[in-house]
């Protein structure tokens, strides 16, 4: 536990659910020692929670929060942010982390420096994020950009010092001022998981703030439970998700399409992506019947869910 009376520049919130202890340890080692590290556990099994508690004793400045049930990624993240905001001297910056993300050397300092430089240059910075590298394939995930009539992805070289203005950022690695995170109401807890970061990004932009990708900051990060590599006008990384995850992916995408602040171009792109995802799972994916059944259930729920 850390002293809460001293000013802290950066705090992290990591949401865990039966995490790999070795991956979590690698993440904690990669964070600067002065970072106030909050781990919010979403009801991991007792033996895994005991290992998380034991691991936490080997690092400074860690605060543990445990839920007896799985609250979902959004609600657990908000819980961590609320605890940070309650401190006498809340941190200036908040970085959101998945349990399997590992910042490469110097990447955290690079993110903070980039945020400060962009703001000093007159940009209304909302969030910035690192370049994510998939460990299974060695490929990066790039940054989504909104072009006239086109939703596209930019693939800068890892280590490039040119920031990329984005239309969306992956949740893990997102750096934001804690005050702005709280001002905008945190993450949408109705989404539980999947497209939580997409909704947040569009809401940040709808309030007049910018999103930036920082390719000089690189995080090791796996998308989905496993990933596969295929060629489609260039090599792509495709996450392989469980039927349970595909339910939320489809439900939340349909829900987002009904919201007025979501760009129309994204809605068209998302429709095509959902169709492509179903096709890929039908051809290459495991548990094909279960996958398609969960996707269809997600679509039906999304269509009947209140847009707000």
Collapsed DSSP state (helix, strand, coil) of residue 162: coil
Phi, psi of 89 (to 5 degrees): -125, 85
Rounded-to-integer distance, Cα 13 and Cα 38, Å:
5
Question: Kindly report the CA angle at 203 between 159 and 149, in degrees rounded to 5?
Answer: 70
Using pLDDT thresholds of 50, 70 and 90, give the confidence band for residue 234.
low
**Same structural domain, 210 and 248:** no
160 and 284 belong to one structural domain: no
Instruction: Say how many domains are in the chain.
Output: 2
* pLDDT single digits (tens) 28-54: 999 999 999 999 999 999 999 999 999
Task: Give the pTM.
Answer: 0.90
CB distance 102 to 109 below 8 Å: no
Question: How many residues are present in the chain?
Answer: 308
What is the sign, positive or negative, of the torsion defined by CA atoms of 165, 167, 173, 176? Answer: positive
| Domain membership of residue 292 as a residue range | 241-304
Task: Tell me the C-alpha distance between 79 and 256, whole Å.
Answer: 23
pLDDT for res 235: 65
Q: Helix, strand, coil: what percent of the chain each, to 5?
A: 40, 25, 35
pLDDT tier at 2, thresholds 50, 70, 90? very low
- For 183, phi then psi, to 5°, come to -60, -40
Q: Is residue 3 part of a domain?
A: no
Do 205 and 257 have their domain in common? no
* Residue that finishes a domain, picked among 173, 188, 220: 220
- Do 213 and 291 sit in the same domain of this protein? no
Query: Got the DSSP string for 202-230?
Result: HHHHHTT-EEEEEEEEEEE---SSEEEEE
Both 266 and 185 in a single domain?
no
CB-based contact 263:146 (threshold 8 Å): yes
Instruction: Work out the number of other CB atoms within 10 angstroms of the CB of residue 250.
Output: 25
- Please check whether residues 180 and 290 belong to one and the same domain: no
Q: Are residues 205 and 163 in the same domain?
A: yes
Residue 234 belongs to some domain of the structure: no
46 assigned to some structural domain: yes
Distance, in Å, from the CA atom of 154 to the CA atom of 167, rounded to the nearest integer, reads: 11
Nearest one of 44, 106, 111, 121 to 76, comparing CA atoms: 44
**Total Cβ atoms within 10 A of residue 68:** 8
Task: Please determine, for residue 221, whether its predicted confidence score (pLDDT) is greater than 80.
Answer: yes
Instruction: Examine residue 289 and state whether it is found in any structural domain, yes or no.
Output: yes
Let me know whether 76 and 143 are in one domain.
yes
Q: Does residue 135 share a domain with residue 88?
A: yes
The predicted structure's pLDDT at residue 8: 75
**Helix H or strand E segment including 182:** helix 178-183
Here the CATH number for the domain that contains residue 133 is 3.90.550.10
How many CA atoms lie less than 13 Å away from 129 in the CB half-sphere?
A: 27
Q: Are 19 and 52 in contact (CB under 8 A)?
A: yes
Query: Does pLDDT of 223 surpass 80?
Result: no
User: Mean per-residue pLDDT for 1-7?
Assistant: 46
Same domain flag for 169 and 294: no
Give the count of beta carbons closer than 10 Å to the beta carbon of residue 121: 9
- pLDDT tens for each residue of 247-282: 999 999 999 999 999 999 999 999 999 998 888 778
The lowest-confidence range among 54-63, 153-162, 226-235 is: 226-235
How many Å apart are CA 116 and CA 110, to the nearest integer?
Answer: 10
Specify whether 160 is located in the same domain as 24. yes
Residues 6+ apart with CB under 8 A from 95: 10, 11, 12, 13, 108, 111, 173, 174, 175, 176
Q: How high does pLDDT run on average in the chain?
A: 91
Least confident of 132-141, 151-160, 225-234: 225-234
Residue % of the chain over a pLDDT of 70? 92
- Is position 121 within any domain? yes
């Amino acid at each position: 536990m850390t002293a809460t009376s001293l000013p802290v520049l950066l705090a992290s919130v990591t949401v865990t659910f039966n995490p790999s202890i070795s991956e979590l340890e690698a993440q904690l080692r990669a964070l600067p020692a002065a970072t106030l590290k909050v781990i919010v556990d979403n009801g991991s099994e007792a033996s895994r929670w005991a290992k998380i508690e034991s691991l936490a004793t080997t690092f400074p400045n860690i605060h543990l929060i445990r839920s007896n049930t799985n609250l979902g990624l959004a609600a657990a993240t908000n819980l961590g942010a609320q605890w940070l905001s309650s401190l006498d001297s809340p941190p200036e910056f908040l970085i959101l982390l998945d349990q399997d993300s590992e910042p490469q050397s110097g990447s955290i300092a690079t993110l903070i420096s980039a945020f400060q430089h962009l703001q000093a240059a007159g940009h209304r910075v909302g969030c910035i994020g690192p370049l994510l590298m998939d460990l299974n394939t060695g490929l990066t995930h790039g940054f989504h950009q909104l072009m006239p009539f086109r939703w596209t992805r930019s693939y800068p070289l890892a280590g490039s010092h040119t920031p990329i203005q984005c239309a969306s950022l992956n949740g893990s690695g997102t750096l934001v001022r804690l005050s702005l995170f709280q001002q905008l109401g945190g993450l949408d807890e109705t989404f539980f998981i999947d497209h939580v970061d997409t909704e947040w990004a569009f809401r940040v932009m709808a309030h007049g703030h910018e999103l930036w990708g920082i390719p000089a900051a690189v995080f090791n990060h796996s998308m989905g439970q496993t990933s596969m590599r295929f060629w489609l006008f260039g090599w792509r990384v495709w996450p392989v998700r469980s039927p349970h995850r595909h339910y939320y992916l489809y439900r939340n995408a349909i829900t987002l399409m009904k919201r007025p602040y979501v760009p129309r171009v994204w809605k068209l792109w998302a429709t095509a992506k959902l169709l492509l995802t179903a096709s890929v799972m039908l051809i290459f994916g495991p548990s094909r019947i279960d996958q398609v059944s969960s996707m269809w259930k997600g679509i039906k729920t999304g269509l009947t869910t209140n847009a707000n």
